[in-house]
């Protein structure tokens, strides 16, 4: 989080935003820990089940049509997170996953161009080219920390996230926490089919039997920390400050993701990875500047 981004925020609000960014960024390491025991589709199923069942009692349903909630739940649950977890199950390192998933920003722009006729601003062309170059650097180093399949799966997860963003735009200004909680009901059926059909009852039973307190804590953190706390706090901040003040802080998510993976997991930081991170994050920053400048 830059000093300029935090300017104008009370210290407590800036620290809350920093806490959310830290939770979202470090969560990739937590996912890695959970996947050591849980297969990816089962982990995604448990995440959305735990996000739904307790919160359903105290989070009111947003004023959103059921088809939009269903589309959001399927795109985010069976799309973004199922694909992300599948990629992180030995196909891409957590730090790199936290970086590549941020390409959802550019997929979101592309879908908006297709659906609403929006046009790229000149600075956004520069931002997109820089981010694509960063992904190209990662693609040139597949075979170690990232496989071609892992990179492709995370890019598909980012595309699904962008699809969810497009659905969210159709909802208008509604409490995002309510959308996340209630749409989770629609993520559960496809995730249940995936885990039963692909991972199978035997593997599910083995994972549940092998799960210890640390594993369940990692699973619960997906729902309680990453989802409920993250979206509730971020929505609270957006309701009190301009989006242009809060949104730049999300640039810290891949930074926290890469740093925590390096510190906790010993994930190496070779020059090519730092270059790729600088390119992708730089592209995100330029795109943000383009949006603030307007047409």
Using CA atoms, how far apart are residues 213 and 30, in angstroms rounded to an integer?
Answer: 13
Instruction: DSSP letter for 144, please.
Output: S
CA distances from 44 to 98, 192, 290 (A): 17, 9, 35
Q: How far apart are CA 124 and CA 287, in angstroms?
A: 5
The Cα–Cα gap between 84 and 79 comes to 8
Q: In sequence order, which residues have a C-beta less than 8 Å from that of residue 53 and are 6 or more positions away?
A: none
Residue with tokens 């804590």: 217
Question: Domain coordinates of the chain in residue numbers?
Answer: 3-293
- In this prediction, residue 244 carries a pLDDT of 64
Beta-strand runs (E) in 130-287: none
The answer to whether 72 and 164 are in contact (CB under 8 A) is yes
**CA–CA distances in Å: residue 284 to residues 6, 91, 255:** 18, 24, 12
What does the mean pLDDT of the chain come to?
89
Q: Which of 254, 253, 248 is nearest to 290 (CA)?
A: 248
Give CA torsion, residues 33, 37, 42, 44, to 10 deg: 0
Contact 166, 57 (CB under 8 A): no
Residue 169 clears pLDDT 80, i.e. is over it: yes
Give the residue with greater pLDDT, 108 vs 85.
Answer: 85
Q: Express the helix, strand and coil content of the chain in percent, nearest 5 each.
A: 80, 0, 20
Residue with tokens 């959305």: 48
Task: Report the distance separating Cα 186 and Cα 129, nearest Å.
Answer: 36
Within 13 Å and on the Cβ side, how many CA atoms surround 258?
20
Residue 96 has pLDDT above 90, yes or no: yes
Q: Is residue 145 predicted with pLDDT exceeding 80?
A: yes
Which range has the worst mean pLDDT, 60-64, 84-88, 236-240?
236-240
How confident is residue 6, by pLDDT bands cut at 50, 70 and 90?
Answer: very low
- Least Cα distance to 98 among 247, 284, 244 occurs for 284
Tell me how crowded residue 99 is: count the other CB atoms within 10 A of its CB: 29
Report the predicted TM-score, pTM, of the whole model to 2 decimal places.
0.90
Residue 84, token pair as written in the block: 């992300």
Q: Beta-carbon neighbour count of residue 15 at 10 Å?
A: 12
Please name which of 29, 24, 31 lies closest in space to residue 219, comparing C-alpha atoms.
31
**Tens of pLDDT, residues 191-244:** 999 999 999 999 999 999 999 999 999 999 988 888 888 888 887 887 777 766
């Amino acid at each position: 989080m830059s000093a300029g981004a935090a300017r104008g925020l009370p210290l407590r609000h800036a620290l809350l935003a920093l806490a959310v960014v830290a939770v979202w960024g470090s969560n990739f390491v937590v996912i890695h820990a959970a996947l050591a025991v849980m297969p990816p589709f089962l982990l995604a199923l448990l995440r959305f089940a735990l996000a739904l069942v307790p919160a359903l009692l105290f989070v009111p349903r947003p004023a959103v049509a059921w088809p939009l909630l269903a589309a959001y739940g399927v795109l985010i649950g069976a799309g973004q997170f199922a694909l992300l977890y599948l990629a992180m199950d030995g196909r891409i390192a957590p730090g790199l996953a936290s970086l590549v998933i941020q390409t959802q920003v550019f997929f979101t722009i592309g879908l908006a161009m297709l659906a609403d006729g929006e046009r790229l601003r000149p600075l956004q062309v520069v931002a997109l080219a820089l981010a694509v170059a960063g992904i190209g650097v990662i693609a040139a180093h597949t075979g170690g920390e990232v496989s071609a399949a892992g990179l492709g799966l995370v890019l598909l997860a980012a595309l699904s996230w962008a699809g969810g963003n497009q659905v969210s735009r159709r909802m208008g200004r509604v409490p995002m926490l309510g959308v996340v909680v209630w749409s989770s009901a629609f993520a559960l059926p496809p995730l249940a089919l995936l885990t039963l059909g692909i991972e199978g009852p035997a593997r599910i039973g083995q994972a549940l039997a092998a799960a210890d307190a640390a594993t369940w804590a990692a699973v619960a953190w997906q729902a309680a920390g990453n989802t409920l706390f993250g979206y509730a706090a971020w929505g609270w901040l957006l309701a009190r400050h301009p989006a242009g003040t809060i949104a730049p802080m999300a640039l810290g998510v891949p930074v926290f993701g890469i740093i925590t993976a390096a510190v906790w997991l010993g994930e190496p930081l070779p020059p090519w990875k730092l270059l790729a991170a600088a390119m992708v994050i730089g592209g995100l920053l330029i795109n943000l500047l383009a949006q603030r400048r307007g047409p």
